[in-house]
């Protein structure tokens, strides 16, 4: 009989949904996997026009094997939500693996879970990890002990396959990769600031600044509150 593997995705308003749907589609196929999508209040949350329902309440989940925190434009607000951050700390304490995708690592940092640890993050926010005592790492997937962090959004799929290999072995993870036909072939080589055309990088930087999502002051406030 396969043991249960409890996987919790901790959601909050204005998450980038692909940050967790990508990893979910991989990890839900692990042996014994029982996945939970949960938020502070449970119920439903709508991200970019997609409504996710039947969410559980984080407080109702006693413990988990894998805690995964996705990122998104709501990251800064989530850091300021004491109930959310309290649940992150509580679930992380008993988890075998503490994980994040994209700016979810800033939440792990704000929860005090990354002190002295290397961690990945979306390229535009990566440096802010240092405010929480973490060591920003440009890797696509970064492991430091039992903490696995992925880079921006789509890195969640690479992260999930890496974690799947850790939990169920390389062969099983390769089977997941094959069943999901994950042989990526992007039409452009513009996925990182180092490879994107300069005018594209400038436009995306300006767009992110305009959303206020890079607000360093919010991160600094969260770091002071640690």
Residues that bind a copy of itself (CB under 8 A): 16-18, 21-22, 24-25, 28, 35, 37, 44, 46, 48-54, 102, 122-123, 140-141, 151-155, 157-158, 161-162, 165, 170-171, 173-175, 177-193, 195-197, 199-201, 203-204, 207-208
Count CB atoms within 10 A of the CB of residue 98: 24
**Which among 70, 40, 79, 13 has a CA at the least distance from the CA of 226?**
79
**From CA 10, how far away is CA 57, in angstroms rounded?**
9
**Which among 41, 63, 61 has a CA at the least distance from the CA of 52?**
41
The residue (of 80 and 197) whose beta carbon lies closer to a copy of itself is 197
Say if CB 71 and CB 15 are below 8 A apart: yes
SS3 106: helix
The residue (of 102 and 119) whose beta carbon lies closer to a copy of itself is 102
Q: Which residues are catalytic?
A: 102
Q: How far does Cα 60 stand from its chain's mean position?
A: 21
CB of 75 vs a copy of itself, minimal distance in Å = 15
Say if CB 73 and CB 102 are below 8 A apart: no
CB of 133 vs a copy of itself, minimal distance in Å = 24
């Amino acid at each position: 009989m396969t043991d249960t593997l409890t996987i919790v995705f901790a959601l909050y308003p204005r998450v980038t949904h692909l940050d967790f749907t990508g990893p979910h589609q991989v990890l839900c196929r692990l042996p014994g996997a029982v996945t939970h999508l949960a938020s502070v209040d449970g119920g439903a949350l709508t991200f970019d026009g997609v409504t996710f329902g039947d969410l559980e309440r984080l407080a109702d989940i006693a413990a988990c094997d894998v805690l995964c925190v996705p990122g998104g434009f709501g990251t800064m607000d989530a850091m300021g939500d004491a109930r959310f951050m309290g649940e992150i700390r509580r679930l992380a304490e008993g988890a075998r693996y503490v994980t994040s995708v994209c700016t979810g690592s800033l939440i792990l940092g704000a929860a005090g879970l990354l002190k002295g640890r290397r961690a990945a993050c979306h390229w535009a926010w990566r440096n802010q990890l240092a405010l929480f005592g973490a060591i920003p790492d440009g890797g696509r997937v970064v492991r430091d002990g039992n903490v696995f962090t992925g880079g921006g959004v789509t890195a969640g799929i690479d992260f999930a396959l890496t974690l799947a290999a850790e939990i169920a072995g390389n062969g099983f993870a390769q089977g997941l990769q094959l069943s999901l036909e994950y042989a990526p072939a992007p039409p452009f080589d513009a996925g990182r600031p180092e490879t994107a055309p300069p005018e594209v990088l400038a436009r995306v930087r300006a767009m992110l600044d305009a959303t206020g999502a890079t607000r360093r002051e919010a991160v600094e406030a969260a770091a002071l509150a640690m």
